[in-house]
Amino acid sequence: MAGKTKYLLNRDGRYFARIVIPKDLRSFLDNKTELRTPLGPDKRTAHARLATEVAALQQQIAIAERKAQVSKGEAIKPGRYPLPVDQIALRNYNERLAFDDELRNSGPRWASVGIDDLHVALLRDGIAGKLNDAALERLVGDRIERYRRLGNTTVVAESGEWRTLARALCMSELEALARVAERDEGDFTGKPESPMLAKAVEIDEVAADVSASDFNSLTFEQVIQEKERLTALGLGGRKKSASTLDKYRNTVHDFEHHRRSKKVATVTLEEGEAWRNAMLEEARLSRKTISDKLATIRAILGWGQDQCRGKLYPATPKGTPFDFLEMPTVIKGDSADRTYTLKDARHLLTSARTATRASNRWIPWIIAHTGARVNEITVLEKTDIFELEEHWFINIRADGERTTKTHTGRKVPVHRALVKEGFVDWVNAQPDGKLFPGGKNEDQRIREWIKEKVFPDREDMPPPNHGFRHLFEDALFAGVSEKAALYITGRSSGSSADDYGGSDLRLLEIAAQMDKVRSIIDGR
């Protein structure tokens, strides 16, 4: 039998990277007995991430060791806390900019000091490898010695490794000077342009910094996974659907790529503003989409702040940096642009009569006469279609893997046009189980069928979700009560009326309301 994987912990189907903290170091880590990082529920994914996360935990242990040695006045052994060349360069870059901030805060003189062009030329020559070791020593020798004392490197002068680090530090110094020049002009948004530094930021390894935060290695993905775990337990609000989380992760990927970091704790308001402005200037996305993306990141930051008990952003313990982010102004378009005309709706429904795939045959008819969303119908089973006193209903459930936008289920009357079309007879002839083929991508197949077969020469057609839903809601103006209309279409009013339709009697009343809604095909 295979032995246990070192540092891998399994608790109730959830995997963690785990390291026990030595007793003499616990006082430097908030008296914790161990360090853990969640790896999610999938064993293969957990094993793939284990080495990286263990390295991050070991770095925290190393920081604690260094604090202990400093407190005892002990010398740090060279190479005890090694960092790769790109990380040393990145650390030097960040330290230079931090020192620049201190000088600017001390008074106005620093911002008026110009940059030495000769020094810049020497740094460029150092990067190009044109300088000998003595010249490199004069330029960055003190920086190399600093990182030797910190235990980050053991390079020896006049070696190839020493010159590699020296050239990387020349590049780091030059990049820092470029940011200083930008700051002199009031621009504090600059990012590293050197491929090595940019990559070092993007891979986002945890630097060995004495002042590292407890949450310095927390990533967006870890926050999302913890949210999934909590909501599965009934904590932390409503459970998000798989499709919603996929959208969140896609948005996170875009934001991480823009800021070149996966860390949650280091997000700033300025980064949010820069990302927003870049998307607006590119003009590829609508303002509504940009606003939704910003709101998604703000929501995830809020989850992280809650999970860290308000310690993720100490400066805003009751909020996040994005709480102060100004959102784009969204101009609502005419709903008619997202609604099928009667002519188009009738053409689509007539075309559906000849479709061979069950989804294409019946789902357009169902959503046209119920206002339901496509993904609420693709998951229907035969038992979800039931009869009550000669009225047929569709049970749109919100349990298990099935969900609705309001996270509540409803029982929608089957419109007489659907009964006349033969939908109930078709359902009764089906075997038990799912009524429609395919999985979560079935709605995409329906959209493709409509585009390719029903409206092959049209580029202005709204998706069926909007096209039929808006049309059906307009049909509800035929004397249907507001409460019944909200219930049938699955909209929330924010009041106790949202449970309308719970008893059999209420269902019969809703069926009577549905009788007022005209058929799309014949108008009766």
pTM exceeding 0.85:
no
Residue 520 DSSP symbol = T
Residue range 422-431: average pLDDT? 94
Q: What per-residue confidence (pLDDT) applies to 471?
A: 81
**What percentage of the chain reaches a pLDDT higher than 90?**
26
The H or E element spanning position 16 is strand 14-20
Q: CA angle, corner 255, sides to 253 and 260, nearest 5? A: 90
Which pLDDT score, from 0 to 100, does residue 169 have? 95
pLDDT band at 407 (very low <50, low <70, confident <90, very high): low
- Kindly tell me if the per-residue pLDDT of 378 is higher than 80: yes
Residue 393 has pLDDT above 90, yes or no: yes
Read off the pLDDT band of 353 (50, 70, 90).
very high
Paired strand residues for 219: 263
Q: Which domains does the chain have, with CATH numbers?
A: 1-74 (no CATH), 85-203 (no CATH), 215-332 (1.10.150), 336-514 (1.10.443.10)
Residue 43 CB coordination number (10 Å):
14
The share of the chain scoring above pLDDT 70, in percent, equals 87
| pLDDT tens digits along 51-107 | 767 766 776 777 777 777 767 766 555 555 677 888 889 888 988 888 888 888 888
User: How far is 7 from 37, CA to CA, in rounded Å?
Assistant: 10
CA 452 to CA 356: how far, in whole Å?
15
Average pLDDT for the chain: 82
Q: In the predicted model, what is the mean pLDDT of residues 355-360?
A: 91
Q: Which two tokens stand for residue 446?
A: 């329906």
pLDDT digits (tens, 9 = 90+) for 447-505: 888 888 888 888 777 777 777 887 888 777 878 888 888 888 877 655 545 454 467 88
Strands (E), 315-437: 385-388, 391-396, 410-413
* Residue 204 reports pLDDT greater than 50: no
Beta bridge partners of 15: 10, 40
pLDDT of residue 75: 56
DSSP assignment string, 281-349: HHT-S-HHHHHHHHHHHHHHHHHHHHHTTT-SSTTSTTS-GGGGPPPPPPPP--GGGGS--HHHHHHHH
